[in-house]
A and B are shown apart, each in its own frame.
Chain A
Amino acid sequence: MRMLRVGRWITAIGLALLAGVYVRALAFTPVEQSQGLAQKIFYLHVPAAIWAETAMILVGLASIVYLFTKDPRLDRFAASSAEVGTVFCAIVLTTGPIWGKPIWGTWWTWDARLTFTLFLFLLYVGYLLLRSAIPDPAMRARYAAVLGICGMCEVPFIHLSVYMFPTLHPMPIVLQPGRPKLPWSMLSTWLLSLGVFTLLYVGFVVQRYAVSYFREQLEAAGEVGHA
């Protein structure tokens, strides 16, 4: 119960700070030279992408350790991280086309970065469907762990796809060797947004973990079917 309350507080603070990011990005951050106002989607799109990928890496790591230890807390964490990662990946896949249309002239193109990101989303959805399809908790955790590890292996391809394939998607602006290629006034807003998305990831995962725990207690008591 305490964990749920902590998660709710972190989420509430994260959502309040998100409003602060909106104000800072829209009113106090300069407009970029060639893209105009659409470039400000960057302050939401990139932090969401970083956490969509990091969430899957954490799912994979927790899954590897789970297969050795069989600790149900790791399985619960992996399931929570996967659900939150799905939400962040949905943000990436919706804000990306909204940004792409005015800049590239198209909502979607099947280039490597976009296709790998769509594949990550489908892996997330597959992971959640797999979990909901298997009633036995031990088997569910084991199968999901294998899929989680596969998902983790896909993440480096997303990051490196812009170097490996010809693509419309731009090269990394911040996460690249050397100094970030944008002015401090923009970088500071982006860092604030990244901090807020980190807070939201933590708040969501803590709450989702607590919900999973309560559901497992009810499952064990035979009061509900599996989550």
Chain B
Amino acid sequence: MNSWKQRGKSDMPENGNYMIAAYILVGAILSGYALSLYLRARRSLRP
């Protein structure tokens, strides 16, 4: 684990779905928070 190396695709473990789930989740959390800040600012500025 502490000395990571590159490998060929032939003997790769099939766990790409975990990676996809994590990337979608991070994108959703960060975009969602950005949207929440935008909406809160708009509500605070409304006269």
Which A residues fall within an 8 A CB radius of B?
1, 4, 7-8, 11, 15, 18, 22, 26, 30-41, 44-45, 48, 84, 87, 90-91, 94-95, 98-99, 101-102, 170-171, 173, 181-183, 185-186, 200, 204, 207-208, 210-211, 214-215, 218
- Interface residues on chain B, number (Cβ under 8 Å): 32
| CB neighbours of A32 from chain B (8 A) | 4-7
B13 touching A38 by the CB < 8 A rule? yes
Task: Tell me whether chain A's interface is mostly helix, strand or loop, or mixed.
Answer: helix
B2 touching A171 by the CB < 8 A rule? yes
Could you count the A-B residue pairs with CB atoms below 8 Å apart for me: how many are there? 120
Task: Tell me whether chain B's interface is mostly helix, strand or loop, or mixed.
Answer: helix
A91 touching B41 by the CB < 8 A rule? no
Of all chain B residues, the one with the shortest Cβ separation from A5 is B41
B37 touching A31 by the CB < 8 A rule? no
CA distance A209 to B45 in the complex (A): 14
B41 touching A211 by the CB < 8 A rule? yes
| CB neighbours of A7 from chain B (8 A) | 37
